[in-house]
Amino acid sequence: MRVRDWQDILEDVASEDADPDGWRAVAGRRNAGVGEDFYLGHPATGVYQLKTYAKNPRDLRGVGTRVARRIDEELDPLLPGHGEEDGGRFAVRQPPEDEDEAERMARRLEETVKVHAEAPTTPEDFFEDVMEAVDSPAWGPMEYEFAGRPDRLDELSDTFEEAEQLLNSELEDLIEEDEVDRGFH
């Protein structure tokens, strides 16, 4: 298992050749200590685990690794499904490469918003169309608890106990190195 910077993991997610709306996520507070736990999964690419904390209001630090190469029948129920009533949404985005791309993206986004403003729409359809307009490489349903831990998060942590221990150790080293006693919220 290769532990890497959390941003490197997100770069991998963004560069995967997977259906962007096939991603699913679970996140919440870490079980012990400052920061958050985050699992991100896609049937074609597997499951990634990230642990992050806010060193200060502008600097998020963390570590992560791939914990599974695919989502099997054991892992599938541990990630939220599309259309779950009480779930939220997440997206990974990349900035435009240059000014021309930014202008094209802005025009697509403007047209998308106009279409949805003039016709009946659902929140899900609007979200998906906006993500496509801004070329988001990954988006989908997310179960998240800001002040706690979803049950699924505990189940995933138990499932990937070895990665959980290793990433906790690596994150604690970062926190100690940064001389941070608590994170920012």
Euclidean distance between CA atoms 185 and 178, whole angstroms: 17
pLDDT, residue 165, reads: 94
pLDDT, residue 86, reads: 62
92, 136 contact by CB (below 8 A): yes
Euclidean distance between CA atoms 56 and 128, whole angstroms: 32
65, 128 contact by CB (below 8 A): no
89, 139 contact by CB (below 8 A): yes
Can you spell out the DSSP letters for 44-73?
A: TTEEEEEEEEEEETTEEEEEEEEEESS--T
User: Which residues contact residue 122 at a Cβ distance below 8 angstroms, ignoring those fewer than 6 apart?
Assistant: none
pTM comes to 0.85
pLDDT, residue 181, reads: 63
Residue 129 buriedness (CB in 10 A; 0-12 / 13-18 / 19+): middle
CA distances from 133 to 101, 105, 136, 137, 140 (A): 12, 6, 8, 11, 15
88, 143 contact by CB (below 8 A): yes
What residues of the chain score a pLDDT lower than 50? Answer: 185
Token output for 57 = 């209001």
pLDDT, residue 112, reads: 95
* pLDDT per position as a tens digit, 12-51: 888 888 888 889 999 999 988 889 999 999 998 999 999 9
pLDDT, residue 85, reads: 57
Rg over CA atoms, the chain: 17
Residue 26 main-chain phi, psi, to 5 deg: -135, 135
